[in-house]
Chain A
Amino acid sequence: MTFRLQLFLILGTFVLLTVIYVFLKKGKLTVKYSLAWLGLSLALFIFALWPYCVYVIRDLLDMVMPSNVIFLLLFGFVLMVLLSLSVAVSQLATKNKTLTQACALLEKRVRQLEEQLREK
């Protein structure tokens, strides 16, 4: 792994961390969902500072370029983050459905009560 790639990875990690920090600070991202991204940037940081572990993984997977190992691992990590997002969206959809139904049932009760009041 070249020094330039290492430098680039460290730079990228800091950009990512800064963006996550800003989002967290502004409340646009909750800590729960930032954890996966923080883990990803941590992995990136370790690869950049300590290329030895990249070489070990490269030999284990019988790959040629260390940079390919980083791409592969990061891609796997991104897939996991995406999957966790799909899970989150599905949970939200279920909650949203239940809320909508409760809302509709309440609206009907209010409507009926209003009609009863008007009749009195």
Chain B
Amino acid sequence: MRILVLIPCYNEEENIVRVVRRLESACPGVDYLVINDCSTDSSPRLLSREGMNYLDLPVNLGIGGGVQCGYRYAVANGYDIAIQMDGDGQHDPAYLEDVVRPVAQGQLDLCIGSRFLKKEGFQTSFMRRVGIRFLSFLIFLFSGNRVLDVTSGFRACNREMMEYFVRHYATDYPEPESILAASLTGFRVGEVPVVMQERLGGVSSISAFNSVYFMIKVSLSLIISRLALHRSNRRNAA
């Protein structure tokens, strides 16, 4: 089974080399692909100098467009499972196997590494937890699927799911939307507990100002998705 770890990277010069080296030592059997989303710092030079496997987006697309490009690469190169893992060191490769297992065993199509199932490790700020809980409730309301850590960027998916994401993936803040879209189109989505760390360096992609836009945009997208997508068997949902 061929497994590819997708690591989106935007201005992560402080973390990216450490993240990749840690992944290589923890999981020697898996391939990885760093997706440089047109970073303005020294990240692209680092990737090239360290001889890493990376994609260089010529235009900044945002996390969704970058990860989608990774899924394109995974599909084109015949990978069976793709795992998304943040480039800031929040996600410990030690949990990679836990996240992959349900997908590899065919129990789930999309498996999310959740920091809220066991409530261990970095739990993010109170306001963010409130926001995440609200989005989680919306997704439960719309699909009947209970997912706690809807914004988690630590997720594994199988080939069918990747092919769906190549066709439909939101450009900004895609995580909650993709969970709902996958659930509604008949993919099996679930969670496994992981422990996340606070980012090693740099800044989060969601600032205080953006969080209002984030909540409005994601809530609206979820409502539109629910209205536009009819429950269906994924085999018919082309």
Interface footprint category on A:
10 to 19
| C-alpha spacing A74/B49, complex, angstroms | 59
| C-alpha spacing A97/B58, complex, angstroms | 10
Q: Which residues of the partner chain A approach B76 to less than 8 Å between Cβ atoms?
A: 105
| C-alpha spacing A107/B58, complex, angstroms | 9
Q: How many residues from B make CB contacts under 8 Å with A?
A: 15
B190 on the A face (CB < 8 A):
no
B98 on the A face (CB < 8 A):
no
Q: Which residues of the partner chain A approach B160 to less than 8 Å between Cβ atoms?
A: none
Give the shortest distance, in Å, between A20 (CB) and chain B (any CB). 31
Q: Is the CB of A105 within 8 A of B72?
A: yes
Report if A103-B58 is in contact (Cβ < 8 Å); known contacts: A97-B65, A97-B171: yes
Give the shortest distance, in Å, between A71 (CB) and chain B (any CB). 31
Q: Which of A91-116 contact B (CB under 8 A)?
A: 93, 96-97, 100-101, 103-105, 107-108
Q: Is the CB of A104 within 8 A of B171?
A: no
Chain A, interface SS category = helix
Give the shortest distance, in Å, between B137 (CB) and chain A (any CB). 29
Q: Which residues of the partner chain A approach B6 to less than 8 Å between Cβ atoms?
A: none
Chain B, interface SS category = mixed
Per-residue CB contact flags for chain B residues 66-85 toward chain A (1 = under 8 Å, else 0) read 00110011001000000000
Q: Is the CB of B56 within 8 A of A101?
A: no
From B73, which residue of chain A is reached at the shortest CB distance? A105
Q: Which residues of the partner chain B approach A96 to less than 8 Å between Cβ atoms?
A: 59
B224 on the A face (CB < 8 A):
no
Q: Which residues of the partner chain B approach A103 to less than 8 Å between Cβ atoms?
A: 57-58
Q: Is the CB of A105 within 8 A of B69?
A: yes
Q: Which residues of the partner chain A approach B58 to less than 8 Å between Cβ atoms?
A: 100, 103-104, 107
Per-residue CB contact flags for chain A residues 20-55 toward chain B (1 = under 8 Å, else 0) read 000000000000000000000000000000000000
Q: Is the CB of B57 within 8 A of A100?
A: yes
Partner of B55, one of A93, A97, A104: A104
| C-alpha spacing A93/B58, complex, angstroms | 14
Q: Which residues of A contact B (CB under 8 A)?
A: 93, 96-97, 100-101, 103-105, 107-108
11 residue pairs of the A-B complex, CB under 8 angstroms, read A96-B59, A97-B61, A97-B65, A97-B171, A100-B69, A101-B57, A101-B65, A103-B57, A104-B35, A104-B55, A104-B69
Top 5 A-B residue pairs of the complex, sorted by shortest distance between their CB atoms = A101-B69, A100-B59, A104-B57, A104-B55, A97-B65
